[in-house]
Amino acid sequence: MPRGRILSERAEFLLLSFLTGLGSGLAAVLLEKTISLIQSFVFPIVNKGGFSFIALVFPALGMLVSMLLIRYVIKDDIGHGVTKVLQAISRNESRIKPHNTWSSMLTSAVTIGFGGSVGAEAPIVYTGAAIGSNIGRLFRLPYRGITILVGCGAAGAIAGIFKAPLAGILFTMEILLFNMSMSSMMPLLISTLTATVVSYVFTGTGTPFSCTIAPFSMGNMPYYIVLGGVCGIFSLYFTRFTLFLEDRFAKIGGSWVKWAVCSAGLGLCILLFPPLFGEGYNFLGSLLNGASWNFDGESPLSFMLHTSWGVPLFVLMVLLVKVVSMTLTNSGGGVGGTFGPTLFTGALAGFIVSRSIGLLGVPLPEQNFVLVGMAGLMAGVMQAPMTAIFLIAEITGGYDLLLPLILCAAVSFGVTRLREKYSIYSKRLAQKGELLTHDSDQAVMSLLDPSALVSDKYPRIGVEQTLADILPIIASSTVAVFPVLDSDSKLAGILEMDDLRKYILGAGDPGAIPVRTLMHAPRATVMQGEPVESVMRKFDGTESWRLPVLNASGTYVGFISRSRILDAYRRELRRISSED
């Protein structure tokens, strides 16, 4: 230990992980309390029995306030919290802006408190990750140290809001931080334990979702397999339809027009299906405890609940429309995540399967299937089966159903992976080549900046020149390849020294040999900004050592070489592997 230093570097880092867990735990409690405070004013007005027009106005008001805060106060894009954390780790050296330590909390509290049909979990993950990132930057930690604290903050946020320390760790390991070493486990343990204790102190030791479950029966295992398959199908629907709707709503011009359209759409969804008001956890609680419910006078579709098959059909419609209401909320200016809606729709899937099978003559414990369905959909949508299994067990106390939880999550995950490689959080980043993955080489490659690897040291040759014109250029250069450009600086071809030697040493007149007869087309070209992983595939496919780089208009920019990429890869690998 250096002279004058009270704690070792390792001890200091563990202290920082404690502070990160403390901050993320307090943030989770604050968000939960703020949402409850707003709902304590809103819900009594809405829940007066029968249809209430104000129930359609409140969500629009929450979206409007959130939109105005983002537009005039925050002035930054803060949506899609977990995706933003992944992007920060992959492309921004785990640096998250200071305002994210409060901005996601504030806007999501307003959105959800006023009835927005989204969840609070993704915003609090973003908040916890931002706390970890900014603590790491404050103490001038290297990339690896900041990244671990980002994971600590995210894990602490999950642990704090759900009182689920194990799920917090698994969430970070499965979704956020890949290829973690065992030395990273202790900081995560400290953060999640600290955040959980903070949550216990301020909110009590009870589980977030109380439930009444029946004893586990091995005879029901085939039906849990069926539930897993159904959850896998619904997971594909959830992921793909959400992204599809986001793309469509993004094309609506103007923030005010988008807010008006999305507010009207969300109001219609809530009018038809009252459980879509807010997070839906009240309705979820009813399903978990087998409580009766009806929406007479609240929904024009309430008549469906008075027929046996109408009940699962109504719940199926709620499940399908939940994706629409969630996307409308986020697209219309609100801030919230898909984490909560995933739990909600999973519970609905479990109810639909159990009630339908029961109507066919095989009575099943519906509360058990509701609980297990939550894990099934989470495993598929988030592509995180271990997180799903232990989170549901922790937040409901349903450890007696651990075997069906594992079975359903595994089946759902397997069905989803047959058709969808990426989770709802990572798919857009993967499409842009900005995602860290469990593949170590690909993970390091995604951290490299492709623009920094392009070299413009290669002398440019005009396509109208002759061999005599370029001999002085060749004589004064040490490179082995030359770009041949037309009058618009577009790449016409390339010249390689191996092709030129026989002409240079030949007896013919160099002035009579035009460059265009000597050049040849490159084996492949690279677009400016193209991900390094894609570039390496082109190198492997063409067996080249250098490839020309073009911008979007086709203008020549420079060359990128395999050796420069490998050198940069080795430097990056040493940097992220170094201990704090």
In the block, residue with structure tokens 């400290």? 190
CB-based contact 281:340 (threshold 8 Å) = yes
pLDDT tens-digit readout, 71-98:
999 988 887 778 888 888 777 778 899 9
Tell me the C-alpha distance between 187 and 155, whole Å.
Answer: 10
Tell me the C-alpha distance between 548 and 121, whole Å.
Answer: 45
Return the CATH number of 9-203, one of 1.10.760.10, 1.10.3080.10, 3.40.1390.10, 3.20.20.140: 1.10.3080.10
For the domain made up of 218-438, give the CATH fold: Clc chloride channel (1.10.3080)
Q: Check residue 263 and give its pLDDT.
A: 94
Q: Check residue 442 and give its pLDDT.
A: 58
Tell me the C-alpha distance between 123 and 312, whole Å.
Answer: 31
Q: May I ask the CATH class of domain 443-577?
A: alpha beta
Ranges of each domain in the chain: 9-203, 218-438, 443-577
Which residues of the chain carry a pLDDT beneath 70? Answer: 1-7, 48-51, 177-183, 431-448, 505-508, 572-580
In the block, residue with structure tokens 């070209």? 525
Those residues with Cβ within 8 angstroms of residue 163's Cβ, 6 or more apart along the chain or in another chain: 196, 199, 200, 203, 205, 207, 208, 394, 395
Structural element, H or E, at residue 468: helix 467-475
Q: Is the pTM of this model over 0.85?
A: no
Tell me the C-alpha distance between 393 and 513, whole Å.
Answer: 78
pLDDT tens-digit readout, 303-339:
899 999 999 999 999 999 999 999 999 999 999 988 8
Two domains, one topology: 9-203 and 218-438: yes
Tell me the C-alpha distance between 131 and 144, whole Å.
Answer: 16
Give me the sign of the Cα torsion angle 296, 299, 300, 304.
negative
Amino acid identity at 417 = R
Amino acid identity at 261 = V
Half-sphere exposure (CA, 13 Å, Cβ side) for 166?
A: 10
State how beta strands 481-485 and 461-462 pair: parallel
CB-based contact 205:359 (threshold 8 Å) = no
Of 440, 339, 417, the closest CA to residue 120 belongs to 339
DSSP secondary structure of 256-312: HHHHHHHHHHHHHHHHH-GGGSTT-HHHHHHHHHT-----TTT-TTGGGGGSTTHHH
Q: Check residue 580 and give its pLDDT.
A: 40
- The tokens describing 195, both together, are 């955040």
Q: Check residue 282 and give its pLDDT.
A: 87
